[in-house]
Amino acid sequence: MTTLDPVPGGRPGDVALAGELSEQLASQGVAGVVLSWVDTAGINRIKAIPVTGLVSAVSWGVGMSPVFDTMLSDGSLVSTDLAGGPQGDLRHFPDLDALVVLAAQPGWAWAPIDRLTQDGEVHAGCSRSLLRRLVADLAGHGVTFRASVEIEFALGLSDAPPAQFEPACTGPAYGMTRLVEQSDFCADALAALAEQGVDVHQLHPEYAAGQYEVSVGALDPVGAADRSVLVRQTLRAVARNHGLLISFAPSVVAGGVGSGGHIHLSAWRDGENLHAVGDGPLGMTPYAQSFVAGIIAELPALSALLSPSPSSYLRLLPSNWSGAYACWGHENREAAVRLVAGMVGNRDRAANVEIKSTDLAANPYLALAGLLAAGTSGVQRSLPLGDPVDGDPAALSDAERARLGIRRLPTDLSAAADAFEASPVLRQALGDLLAGAVVAVRRGEVARVAEESPENVARAFRWVY
């Protein structure tokens, strides 16, 4: 993963590397390269080029409209003062350091892109560039981050009636039966991910109907966001090879437990994990405490980035392990911020913060940028971290929750958009174009399904992410 913004004519060394790569890829039987990015609505959009086009792509980018900054997940369009409309074109530059040959899609390689204007400036709507710049800025202050995104998904039968979800396994949650039922899919998924250099930590059957989870090793934040996109598309390709449907939607079927995309994050300075080497609770340093406090302070506003779909609010419910309350707890699966201390002997490596309210409708670059901005704002203000919460906050009375400062996260996307709009920290971090696009796209998604039943909302977003 490069740390450099693209430049017209190519990043240093890229043109020569692209020349070598295109020959090498062609000799491996690769015909095309997918240029991948994620829009404001959380949809993975792409353009594909033949391998012979790689030199031109790293030199001058590949054209694509900026209209996707304000496109909804169903392809309809909204606009803001700064984004939308039929005019303009951007250049998409692949990141060669992140290029991967796709194991489950013979003939294809994949690379995430960054977006430049035709004047050679970083496009203000480019969420990957935004995250890279934020990470570089923090590194300039001596702090680096490690992150990973957990991938929960539901497997469905492809011969089910179109409007229905029929789980592709029937065994009990976390049970061996589910692994036996989808043994070939699971083995092929592990093999494809390994071939692509993804270090999988675990694959397990989850709680909800047809649900499984893959968790992967931590990388720098941009690498982690790239990886979360790549892992999902790999799982999708493997599912398709097995005649299965796969859903990463927050709520596959209304009324049940949903699928999350929990984000793990840790801050490091001089090789030390700031969540493990301090004198605070669970070994947190003052930096880690204020960083976590900053995230909790912004969590309602962050919901517009972490739980950005109408479907997200069918999932983000108390007592569903989705983290519906803005508070933290030690290994508490009902707190939006679950502190993972790790096992004795390994804590200095393993300790991290898990943000549970996140789902996979989120653009992972925006989600991580928002979390880093919120945490950093906490650090800049030396925000104190309140007490941890034990048990399920839903079991407390309203008065007890108020006394402990535990807030319920927004209960719908409209409230999340309002909270985001009222957050100077997040609006400033994203900049005017992206912040405006986030609000317009969230309000657009709300309007699309305003009159729909929960069942229809789940159905409308079941297969889009």
Q: Name the site residues for ligand GLU (rule: CB under 6 A).
A: 152, 206-207, 257-260, 315, 320-322, 333, 356
User: Which C-beta is closer to Mg ion: that of 69 or that of 213?
Assistant: 213
Task: Dig out the tokens for 117 from the structure.
Answer: 């204007």
User: Which C-beta is closer to ligand GLU: that of 116 or that of 257?
Assistant: 257
CA–CA separation, 154 and 168 (whole Å) = 8
Give the one entry of Mg ion, ligand GLU, none that residue 322 binds, where binding means its C-beta sits below a cut-off of 5 to 8 angstroms depending on kind: ligand GLU
List strand residue ranges (DSSP E) for 16-165, in order. 32-38, 44-50, 62-64, 90-94, 100-101, 108-117, 144-149, 151-157
Closest-CB residue for Mg ion?
213
Of 197-226, binders to Mg ion (CB under 5 A) are 213
- Is residue 14 at the binding interface for Mg ion, with CB under 5 A as the rule? no
- Is residue 354 at the binding interface for Mg ion, with CB under 5 A as the rule? no
> Counting every residue, how long is the chain?
465
The residue count for binding Mg ion (CB under 5 A) is 1
CB 206, min distance to Mg ion, A: 5
CB 207, min distance to ligand GLU, A: 6
CB 257, min distance to ligand GLU, A: 5
Task: Dig out the tokens for 373 from the structure.
Answer: 């901005």
Task: Dig out the tokens for 411 from the structure.
Answer: 């209960």
CA–CA separation, 160 and 157 (whole Å) = 6
- Is residue 334 at the binding interface for Mg ion, with CB under 5 A as the rule? no
Q: Find out whether 91 and 118 touch, Cβ atoms under 8 Å.
A: yes
Closest-CB residue for ligand GLU?
260
CB 356, min distance to ligand GLU, A: 6
Q: Find out whether 152 and 142 touch, Cβ atoms under 8 Å.
A: no
User: Residue 203 forms beta bridges with which residues?
Assistant: 214
Residue written as token pair 């391998």: 51
CB 249, min distance to ligand GLU, A: 11
- Is residue 359 at the binding interface for Mg ion, with CB under 5 A as the rule? no
Give the one entry of Mg ion, ligand GLU, none that residue 333 binds, where binding means its C-beta sits below a cut-off of 5 to 8 angstroms depending on kind: ligand GLU
CA 362-366-372 angle, to 5 degrees, is 120
Cα 194 to Cα 30, 205, 411: the distances in Å are 18, 19, 38
CB 162, min distance to Mg ion, A: 28
CA–CA separation, 15 and 96 (whole Å) = 10
Q: List interacting residues with Mg ion (CB under 5 A).
A: 213
